[in-house]
Chain A
Amino acid sequence: MGVLENFLLILLTPLLGAAFLFLFTGKLGKNAVGITAFGLAAAAFLASLGLALRLPVIKTISIIAPWINVLGVTFSFYYDTLTAVSILISTFITAVALIYAVGYFRDRQDFNASGFYSLIMLFLAGIIGVFVSSNLILFYFFWELMLLPTFAIVAYFGENRARSGVLAIKYFIFTHIGAVLILFASLLIYAMTGTADMSVLKAVLGVSDPFMVKAASVMLILGFGIKLAVVPFHSWLPDTYENAPTPATVIMASVMMNASIYGLVRFFFTVLPREAVTPFILPVMVFAVISQFYGAILALVQKNIKRMIAYSSISQMGYVLFGIGTLTYLGVSGAVFHMVNHTIIKALLFMTVGAVYLSSKSYDTDELGGLTAYLPLVALTGTVGALAVSGIPLFGAFQSEWLIFAGGFRTPYTVLSVLAVAGALFTAAYALKFVADVFFGARKNIGSRSAAPVPRAMVFSMSVLASFTLLIGIYPWFFSKAVHIAVRMLGV
């Protein structure tokens, strides 16, 4: 298989798969549809792995095909190590989450399986498109393709039937404003330079009107910041994550965040010249630290465990943003590595929440407790997830957080870095509280009700992720190597 065929396989498998699932699986049972969707995601993962393994030889792949000739906008894609890392982790987690979904929806009546899984596939196609496009217009195009299916999932499959419409609109308006800011910045860059090709823009922008370049970079930071739920723009996140059906929350909270992290890294280091970014680094880092504290503290006070993990996302994105904001090799490597770890850990935590809910029919910490006796494997994997998110050695996130803080201390902003390290304490606090409230202690108000066993597919997928985060924690070499190559190729 040639490089081009391999590349097209990655891009088209989810896209055509979405159409296939939507059109032809209406009559199939929901398990069959779910397994087909898993097969498609796994195929995309394998195809991506195949292309990634060629990268040591061919370094960067770029593909250009005509699209809008009148304007000179092309279908242009590239595939370098950063892209490979992002696609691999995203398709892998999506595939695992789809196994989880099959288990989660096992007993659900009145579930439109072909609609749900085709939307997930469409989302996957959108996010892969975001990772590979090297044209500003194409990037925006795929960015919205990624948002639309998630809106539909929140609106039509939401758990809170009465309010999911309103919550979905809130989510869509917020993220659409973010997207539109990215579009505005892209058009500004396009108008200034006459090219929308991301691989050549850095040189061209270096000699453009600095004020306009800075304006574009502010808009990009705001646009991606909204999607990352950085603190003043975070209010969509807990509502959306709480309301989305848990398998979709798993995918949105873990995989969708990768798109914004990827976008920020890509624009900071491949598209924008360094002078256009440096003036905004201090505010970015300040808001990153604020998000870190805010998310962690609010997670600590939540009674609803799904909201608790949702707030944890805000806090974790603070770490990532802090790492990117350092603009140092260590910090950015840490951020990209943390993206990988966070994807696994956040998926694992939301899966735990879903499993707990399925067995006890409650998200409320006042009602839960003592689940270890009933669901030992879920308790084990959930505890692994909680320990990992608090950055304890032996678990994946330790390596990446450590790199992020190391990057922070390379910058002149020592106070901020100290604060960022201190924020990790709050993370540990809510993570341990989560474990204590759910798995240990006595069965509280629902003590009389026994916890139902959860489907094996769910336990399996959680075990896979838990072992993965342990693997990264104990033997990070392979993963950190890929991340380091990716960041070095960006020329940080």
Chain B
Amino acid sequence: MTALMPLFILFGGAFAVYIVSRLSRSKAFWGSLLSGAAIIAALYSLLRIMSALINEQAVYYPLNVLAYTATLRFDFLSVLLSITVLILGLMVAVFSYKYMDEDLSQDKYYALLLIMIGAIVGLSASKDLFNIWVFFELMCVSSYILVSFRKERWEPLEAGFKYIIMSAAGSMMVLLGISLVFGMTGNLDLAAIKHSLIAAPQLPLIGSLVLFICGFAVKAAIVPFHTWLPDAHSEAPSGISAMLSGIVIEAGLFAMIRVMLYMTALRADIGMVLIILSVVTMTTGNLMALAQTKIKRMLAYSSVAQMGYILMGIGIGFKLFIPDGFLGGFFHIVTHAGMKGLAFLAAGIVIHYVGTTEIAEMKGLAKKMPTLAFSFAIAAFALAGVPPLSGFMSKWLIYKAGIDAGGWGFALAAAAIFNSVLSLGYYLPVVNTIYSSEVSGKVVSARRPPWQVMVPVAVLTLSVIALGVFPDLGLGFVGLAVKNIYWIVGVQ
């Protein structure tokens, strides 16, 4: 039962939040409070699971799916992703209390947020293709609605529609891949599939792999499957943008990695594919971000670029089993959740209280809102991989993995480092604009943001600095997760 506790809390919380805030008059207050409480309770139960795992007790819950055995089993990888999503989700729940107060149907907002978080926690713990697909779809469906949440305007609807079409195509590819594997092996449990796939015919196996990679890549916004992302992430409410960029696309990648980890026979080839995709993804993302004039579109393209970094670390890990590759990739998931979450929340405050999305109209923001400007600058420098901030710590592990790989790895590390410098080309002008000595008219007439939205921004700023100066705070967990990968693959 322990394994189901977080899911019970989150999904049960979603119902409770909806009913209570539907019936009450102050929807935002109860929605935010209850969803925050549910997330904290889920976090607590996850910490219990974590301590059980450290004591080497398996935490799982057997399920019967259409007479095939499946289990929901937590391991260190799941705990890493779940804790990250819960902490970011808590920040977003607190942030949305005042931020969303002018929106309609906030009761649904918090319920959907909890469902999305629950789906990611479930996805992280799924060890069979059936559950992975179910939770994956649940996450997608809840995020479609959240992207188009401000349905009174046209752009969110268009972005949501584009997102559904592309994501559904991706999901179908995943489903087709699952049916191919199921047909070959007659099994849905990944551990069992791992054994039967060793003797499987090559061609259908490669076919299913291609389908998996393409399908999950849509969700993970890997170039060339990224085109939905800038629209969806810039049109969603900012709290949701933070969730989407900070953890949802990473969850898509996580699902891909989870499945790929069990395809041991083709591991090195998968690694090569991921590495090639990673270089393309980070370069495209950065080049596109350079051309943006709207802050959230710029951040959205930067998310594409950051996915490239994560992919590069993990790709190197797959190809050569260099632990630093996995370590860097997974740590970048954690740090990226913090810094991109921070950037989107800060950008959201600017959009909401200053009333502009254009970077050029944010001149002199530091004079009006010094704390916010400082936080955004911290996020921008962290995203560009400048020490002593968290983004540097995860990025240098990825560079190091490239250099450890030797030979072509140098070129990879050089490409990643070059991309970091390139990304300064769009972060620095934004920071300069914010700290400009001129003050634009929009900023002069800006409203003062309430302290409730500043709390999550301050917490995330501190976390970005703390993880940069004391990376061991996060790397400890990530190290356990990487050990876990080694157990799954069976390589020492």
* B400, A68: Cβ atoms closer than 8 Å: no
* B399, A184: Cβ atoms closer than 8 Å: yes
Interchain nearest-CB distance for A145 vs B (Å): 6
What is the interface of chain A mostly: helix, strand, loop, or mixed?
helix
* B428, A172: Cβ atoms closer than 8 Å: yes
- Known pairs A155-B435, A165-B429; A141 contacts B388 (CB<8 A): yes
Indicate with 1 or 0, residue by residue over A184-199, a CB within 8 angstroms of chain B CB atoms: 1001101100000000
Cα separation A168 to B432 with both chains bound (whole Å):
9
> Pick the contact of A148 from B324, B381, B413, B478 — CB < 8 Å?
B381
Interchain nearest-CB distance for B485 vs A (Å): 14
Chain A residues with a Cβ closer than 8 Å to the other chain, count: 31
Residues 416-430 of B contacting A (Cβ, < 8 Å): 417, 420-421, 424-425, 428-429
- Known pairs A137-B396, A141-B388, A183-B396; A69 contacts B472 (CB<8 A): yes
Interchain nearest-CB distance for B471 vs A (Å): 5
* B472, A67: Cβ atoms closer than 8 Å: yes
* B403, A188: Cβ atoms closer than 8 Å: yes
A8 adjacent to chain B (CB < 8 Å):
no
Interchain nearest-CB distance for B370 vs A (Å): 9
> Pick the contact of A184 from B414, B433, B435 — CB < 8 Å?
B414
* B421, A176: Cβ atoms closer than 8 Å: yes
B386 adjacent to chain A (CB < 8 Å):
yes
Which residues of A lie under 8 Å from residue B417 when comparing CB positions? 180, 183-184
Interchain nearest-CB distance for B135 vs A (Å): 30
Q: Name the residue among A168, A177, A191 with the largest chain B CB count within 10 angstroms.
A: A191
* B421, A180: Cβ atoms closer than 8 Å: yes
* B400, A190: Cβ atoms closer than 8 Å: yes
Indicate with 1 or 0, residue by residue over B378-412, a CB within 8 angstroms of chain A CB atoms: 00010000111000110011011001101000100
B436 adjacent to chain A (CB < 8 Å):
yes
Cα separation A137 to B396 with both chains bound (whole Å):
9
- Known pairs A140-B387, A144-B388; A187 contacts B399 (CB<8 A): yes
Cα separation A187 to B413 with both chains bound (whole Å):
10
Chain B residues with a Cβ closer than 8 Å to the other chain, count: 38
* A184, B413: Cβ atoms closer than 8 Å: yes
Interchain nearest-CB distance for A26 vs B (Å): 9
B386 and chain A: residue at smallest CB distance: A144
Cα separation A176 to B403 with both chains bound (whole Å):
20
* B476, A145: Cβ atoms closer than 8 Å: no
Residues 19-73 of A contacting B (Cβ, < 8 Å): 66-71
- Known pairs A169-B429, A173-B424; A70 contacts B327 (CB<8 A): yes
Interchain nearest-CB distance for A407 vs B (Å): 35
Cα separation A296 to B472 with both chains bound (whole Å):
49
Interchain nearest-CB distance for A127 vs B (Å): 14
* A187, B400: Cβ atoms closer than 8 Å: yes
B215 adjacent to chain A (CB < 8 Å):
no
A161 adjacent to chain B (CB < 8 Å):
yes
Cα separation A191 to B412 with both chains bound (whole Å):
14
Indicate with 1 or 0, residue by residue over A138-171, a CB within 8 angstroms of chain B CB atoms: 0011001100100110011000010001001100
* B388, A70: Cβ atoms closer than 8 Å: no
B452 adjacent to chain A (CB < 8 Å):
no
Interchain nearest-CB distance for B47 vs A (Å): 20
Residues 3-36 of B contacting A (Cβ, < 8 Å): none
Residues 106-139 of A contacting B (Cβ, < 8 Å): 137
B40 adjacent to chain A (CB < 8 Å):
no
Cα separation A70 to B414 with both chains bound (whole Å):
24
Cα separation A69 to B477 with both chains bound (whole Å):
12
Which residues of A lie under 8 Å from residue B399 when comparing CB positions? 183-184, 187
Which residues of A lie under 8 Å from residue B403 when comparing CB positions? 184, 187-188, 190-191
- Known pairs A156-B435, A187-B413; A176 contacts B424 (CB<8 A): yes
A141 and chain B: residue at smallest CB distance: B387
Known: A69-B476, A71-B397. 11 other contacts (CB 8 A): A68-B393, A137-B396, A152-B435, A155-B432, A169-B432, A173-B425, A176-B424, A180-B417, A180-B420, A187-B403, A191-B406
Q: What are 13 A-B residue pairs whose CB atoms fall within 8 Å in the complex?
A: A69-B472, A69-B476, A70-B327, A145-B387, A152-B435, A165-B433, A169-B432, A172-B428, A173-B425, A173-B428, A183-B396, A187-B399, A190-B400
Chain B residues engaging chain A, CB cutoff 8 angstroms: 324, 327, 381, 386-388, 392-393, 396-397, 399-400, 403-404, 406, 410, 413-414, 417, 420-421, 424-425, 428-429, 431-433, 435-437, 470-472, 475-476, 478-479
